[in-house]
Amino acid sequence: MARRAKGRSVNGIFLLDKPGGMSSNRALQIVKRIYGAAKAGHTGALDPLATGMLPLCFGEATKFSQFLLNADKRYITTAKLGQRTDTSDADGEVVEERPLPENLSATQIDELLQREFTGLITQVPSMFSALKHNGQPLYKLARQGIQVEVKSRQVTVFSIELLDFRGDEVDLDIRCSKGTYIRSIVQDMGEMLGCGAHVKMLRRLDSGPYKAEAMIPLAELEQRVADMGSDAAVEDIQMSLDALLLPSWSPVADTPEVLLSDSQTRALCNGQRVMLETFDVQPLVRIRDSASDKFLGIGEIDVYGQLLPRRLMNTQDI
């Protein structure tokens, strides 16, 4: 007998403003419990020290979470110069202190950033990252004192702006591709300056199509439920919470859309390929039923005008 999922069917994306001092998984579990959701996942972990944008996918929206994992990001960070820590951030132990270069200026730092940290760059992720080695997260190995070789990777920094320079602290605004480690940028910058550095503050503002102004702090979500009172009907609380969710298709909002007729929708939901009368070859499209205006999933259009399904919503939920 199939096990019945615990929790209710909730579909959509919640943009959490993650508080500092909490793991991404812990934040996910708290919000999942508040929603009473049967299925949920986050899209790209933030370190406990970090705050900001953590999109949480519920139910059918988890099928499209990969597009957020692969999305570009924007961060603001404060780098502490003159101190190197074992984790490259303020949660670690200081392992080395060095004086700052004499007469170091904002202009010198900015020139270094533009020369060395924009465009396609190569970086070595910290041992205190969620990358895995033989199935084990690197940070778990690091906490056991186990060191392994971490392969370098290429990432793209679209822009890096020096916001402020205050003696031994540097504020940066960084727009970058997936997989970019801000701690590595800060650590490498410190080494190039000759004084070392670590991340004192890190906040993610944007992730893919989602912007900072749309985030909801965890405390605000909890207060919303508390304000409704213990006498509020469960259905009213659920309706209030669900109104905060973005649609499951929002991770692919910028992709072309294909509208299907009723017969085409039935064929697609039965796993059949759909022939389109007019088409452009597309590697990724959003699929919508024209009659009900419901999102069906994503697919691709081949050179023959066939719409090939890639990920479809559960037919019971569309």
- Which residues are known to be catalytic? 47
Name the one residue in this structure whose structure tokens are 């893919």.
Answer: 208
The alpha carbon of residue 223 and the mean position of all alpha carbons in its chain are separated, in whole angstroms, by 24
The whole-angstrom separation of Cα 280 and Cα 304 is 10
Hey, which residues does 257 pair with through a beta bridge? 286
Separation of alpha carbons 305 and 316, rounded Å: 28
As given in the structure block, the two tokens for residue 151 are 């392969």
Question: What's the full length of the chain, in residues?
Answer: 318
Strands 257-260 and 169-176: unpaired
DSSP, collapsed to helix, strand or coil, labels residue 221 as helix
Task: Please name which of 261, 310, 247 lies closest in space to residue 13, comparing C-alpha atoms.
Answer: 247
Cβ-contact 217, 52 below 8 angstroms: no
**CA-CA distances (angstroms) from residue 160 to 109, 111, 172, 173, 212?**
11, 11, 7, 6, 18
CA distance 24 to 11: 20
